[in-house]
């Protein structure tokens, strides 16, 4: 059995949050959200961690995050820059200020990842259950024709401090059929709604949403290159266009090349989409420590 790796996307800057939230200390002993994810991933069985970061904060990231892993797991640092060379792409990636997105972030990992792998965001707290589910999937079910994701119940992913965007999933027999990005989602007195243009639409509380927790076979890399080439042909002149993971997932499902199994976590998601979320998350992590859910410090 090939042990899977965990790819952590940490190259983005939190524009709404207002800073490098990946390194923000939120736990009672100064833990970051990544610290909790690493703890849960190692506990689930992962033995290789690949961080996608920017060169500009490499040293700070090593000091605060990756050096703490020690000999618990193999650690790789991969850099996602605007001009990162992708071997065999067959097309020059134009320079621009805005990053190319999460699909591009996975693509730059190709040389570091030769095994099945999970993908998470650095600034999302996913909970222990999600890591256990994805690890089991990656060690028993993943294949070139079967990928996976851990979804969450929509009502467990909202912020009290503003709108959020979520990939709302349509499933059938446990498989993903469609994922639609919905923006401006917020709970109101009558329920959960999203805004599209001038209209407002209700979403069921238990809608399954993607929080960017994926499980892939490494056969995805050729698909990513093909899709990114197409994306560059169509969108390279758009300075705001981003190549997101659901783009490639949708293409593979619609073409019948891949089935994608949807697992649903029983845990609450936490994140710091807005600065005002920080106090809530710190309180939750303190509660985790007081209840013994995590030891203090986590490491």
Sign of CA dihedral 274, 278, 279, 280: positive
Q: pLDDT tens for residues 192-219?
A: 999 999 999 999 999 999 999 999 999 9
The topology under which CATH files domain 5-147+210-291 is Spore Coat Polysaccharide Biosynthesis Protein SpsA; Chain A (3.90.550)
Output the pLDDT for position 96: 78
Contact 32, 64 (CB under 8 A): yes
Low-confidence ranges of the chain (pLDDT < 50): 13-19
The count of other CB atoms within 10 Å of the CB of residue 137 is 21
Q: Which of 130, 125, 210 is nearest to 164 (CA)?
A: 210
Kindly state the tokens that stand for 123: 């600034």
Q: pTM of whole model > 0.85?
A: yes
Per the DSSP assignment, residues forming a β-bridge with 14 are 19
Q: Which of 162, 149, 159, 183 is nearest to 264 (CA)?
A: 149
Q: Which of 266, 279, 288 is nearest to 206 (CA)?
A: 266
Give domain limits for the chain.
5-147+210-291
Per the DSSP assignment, residues forming a β-bridge with 261 are 148, 175
């Amino acid at each position: 059995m090939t042990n899977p790796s965990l790819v952590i996307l940490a190259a983005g800057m939190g524009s709404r949050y207002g800073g490098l939230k990946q390194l923000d200390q939120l736990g009672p002993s100064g833990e970051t959200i990544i610290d909790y994810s690493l703890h849960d991933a190692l506990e689930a069985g992962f033995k290789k961690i690949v961080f996608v970061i920017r060169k500009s904060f490499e040293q700070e990231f090593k000091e605060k995050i990756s050096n703490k892993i020690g000999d618990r797991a193999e650690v790789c640092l991969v850099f996602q820059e605007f001009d990162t060379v992708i071997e065999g792409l067959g097309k020059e990636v134009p320079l621009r200020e805005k990053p190319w997105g999460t699909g591009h972030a996975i693509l730059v990992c190709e040389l570091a990842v030769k095994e099945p792998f999970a993908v998470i965001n650095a600034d999302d707290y996913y909970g222990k259950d999600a890591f256990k589910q994805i690890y089991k999937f990656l060690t028993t079910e993943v294949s070139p024709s079967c990928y996976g994701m851990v979804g969450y119940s929509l009502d467990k992913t909202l912020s009290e401090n503003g709108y959020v965007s979520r990939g709302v999933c349509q499933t059938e027999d446990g498989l993903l059929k469609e994922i639609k990005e919905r923006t401006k989602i917020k709970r109101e007195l009558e329920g959960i709604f999203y805004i599209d243009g001038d209209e407002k639409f209700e979403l069921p509380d238990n809608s399954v949403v993607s929080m960017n927790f994926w499980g892939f076979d490494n056969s995805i890399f050729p698909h990513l290159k093909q899709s990114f080439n197409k994306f560059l042909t169509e969108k390279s002149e758009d300075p705001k266009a981003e190549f997101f993971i659901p783009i490639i997932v949708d293409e593979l499902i619609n073409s019948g090349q891949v089935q994608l199994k949807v697992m649903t976590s029983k845990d609450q998601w936490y994140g710091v989409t807005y600065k005002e979320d920080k106090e809530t998350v710190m309180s939750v992590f303190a509660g985790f420590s007081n209840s013994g859910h995590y030891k203090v410090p986590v490491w």
